[in-house]
Chains A and B, each alone.
Chain A
Amino acid sequence: MAYKFDFGAIWEAMPQLLAAGLGTLGLAVAGSLLAIVIGIGGVVLRDSRLAPARWLVMSFVELIRNTPFLVQIYFIFFALPLLGAQLGQLLAGLGLIARPTNYLLIGPWPTAVIALGLNGGAYAIEIIRGGVQAVPKGQWEAGAALGLHRATVFRLIVLKPALRAIYPSLTSQFTLLTLTTSIAGAIAAYELFSEAKFIDSQIYKPFEVYFTITVFYFVISWFMNQLFQAFARRYFSYPTK
């Protein structure tokens, strides 16, 4: 018997898919924000005068970029809480906390945001660093000559032109992050792909289900892109030569 296309069944599942789509969008936005914070903070530490801070950031970047995201998110979700339990016991034993608490035991959705943020952040560090290096040394010197400290020069003088220089690469990195949210279902975080799998397992309409979420992913990704471009128009609108 030939497969019968029936988008009517999808129509019934639409509320669930839309809700899960919002879950995906939420992961993408929260993960991207965290990744930007980690990216900028990482660059500051990576180029700081503190050698241990530099090593820490370099190791972090290498670790993230040379391991699969699926392993990273599993590690944070399944492995770290075991460490957290031990740590809680230890702290309670030392009398630092009233009773053993596992600070590393967190729910799937926050875990997914953290994993996405760390992963995207590691790539963002390298990208933003390239932008910082593209800013002429004279800009740092002019800031210093005006009596501003290094951190102030970075924040007020270097950061904006640096981000502007690498903005297209950063945008595509965040598109990738948006699409990577589909892996977060592996730890039962609420998002579109795992919801689609669940619906398909109930109605046996793989073509309709995966066709629909393909469109959804495309729209979400496009929306994120528009968001980034709108931000760029507002934030980077100064003229250059």
Chain B
Amino acid sequence: MTQTRQAAPMILMEGVEKWYGQFKALTDINLEVNSGEKIVLCGPSGSGKSTLIRCINHLEPIQKGRIVVDGVTLGHDTKSIDAVRRGAGMVFQQFNLFPHMTVLENCTLSPLRTRGLKKDAADALARKFLARVQILDQAEKYPAQLSGGQQQRVAIARALCMEPKVMLFDEPTSALDPEMVKEVLDTMVELARDGMTMIVVTHEMGFARQVADRVIFMASGQIVEEEPPEQFFQAPKHERTRKFLGEILRQH
């Protein structure tokens, strides 16, 4: 890392290793993300980028190394896992909205259950974030009544309702029809402008160019290259990065 460190990083990963049985999914991951930084993670499928962000909120337990999120060292105990998860919002590729709850209920669930908010306060909070992702008019509908893009914006609002310190995006536009990608990316760009700390797994290189402070390229469970977007796109150092960029950019 080239930046100077003023304060403790928002996210710290040190020597992280992750195994699925005999398969080593992550090898010696070292990563620091400062408050307000936006990181784009890319790489070929199976490179471990989704696994990496899923380790940050302990959806995947790690076997070796250390993860610290906002000063909390992630262990296997409920207390540290709760603390980390409540400070990290996550947006999934398949939205994962709860089909039997309205948009509003999806958003108020966590504030009601994990932060002890009263219903009025939780509703007000949810409406604020639904307005921010421009979907407040759909608050009483069920997920199945919305388009994919709308659903993903609800999922972003739902995560924001936790008022997290960091937002994790796991291929947020990969399951969307092309015409809906933009509305979700626009929402994310706006979030980035407001200073949210973000780690985004995506192949949307336009987004990376526009908002990323650093672009990280992964392959075979390792971080291969880590650069600000200008260097990353204009002068990638590694052969694997060049090859990957060639393939990705040809499609766009």
Contacts and interface: CB of A to CB of B under 8 A. Distances in A.
Given A148-B114, A156-B113, A236-B100, 17 more contacts: A136-B94, A138-B96, A141-B96, A142-B96, A142-B97, A144-B59, A144-B85, A145-B59, A146-B85, A146-B158, A147-B86, A147-B110, A149-B78, A161-B100, A238-B100, A239-B142, A239-B145
A241 to B, nearest CB: 5
Contacts of B90: 142, 145
A240 interface: yes
B98 A139 contact: yes
Interface in A11-43: none
B144 interface: yes
A170 B149 CA distance: 35
B113 A152 contact: yes
B53 to A, nearest CB: 11
A145 B113 CA distance: 13
Range for the number of chain B residues in contact with chain A: 20 to 34
A238 B162 contact: no
A157 interface: yes
Q: Which of A142, A149, A161, A164 has the most CB of B within 10 A?
A: A142
Contacts of A160: 100
Nearest to A148: B113
A101 B74 CA distance: 53
B114 A147 contact: yes
B162 A146 contact: yes
Given A142-B92, A160-B100, A147 B59 contact: no
A150 B98 CA distance: 15
A90 B226 CA distance: 72
B84 to A, nearest CB: 9
14 contacts: A141-B92, A141-B96, A144-B59, A144-B85, A145-B57, A145-B92, A147-B85, A147-B110, A152-B113, A156-B109, A157-B98, A236-B100, A238-B100, A239-B142
A128 to B, nearest CB: 16
Interface in A114-145: 136, 138-139, 141-142, 144-145
Nearest to B155: A142
Interface of A: 136, 138-139, 141-142, 144-149, 152, 156-157, 160-161, 164, 236, 238-241
Contacts of B190: none
Contacts of B114: 146-148
A41 to B, nearest CB: 21
B99 interface: yes
B14 interface: no
B59 A240 contact: no
Contacts of B78: 149
Given A138-B94, A141-B59, A240-B144, A147 B99 contact: no
B186 interface: no
A64 B97 CA distance: 38
Nearest to B168: A145
Nearest to A144: B59
A149 to B, nearest CB: 7
Nearest to A149: B78
Contacts of B82: 147, 149
List 5 tightest A-B contacts by C-beta distance, closest first: A142-B96, A146-B110, A145-B90, A138-B96, A147-B86
Given A148-B113, A156-B109, A239-B142, A142 B98 contact: yes
Given A144-B85, A145-B59, A146-B110, A138 B100 contact: no
A148 B59 CA distance: 12
A141 B113 CA distance: 16
B147 to A, nearest CB: 12
A238 B105 CA distance: 13
Contacts of B109: 146, 148, 156
Nearest to A142: B96
A138 B142 CA distance: 18
A238 B57 contact: no
A134 to B, nearest CB: 12
Contacts of A149: 78, 82
Given A138-B96, A139-B98, A152-B113, A145 B142 contact: no
Contacts of A240: 99, 144
A132 to B, nearest CB: 14
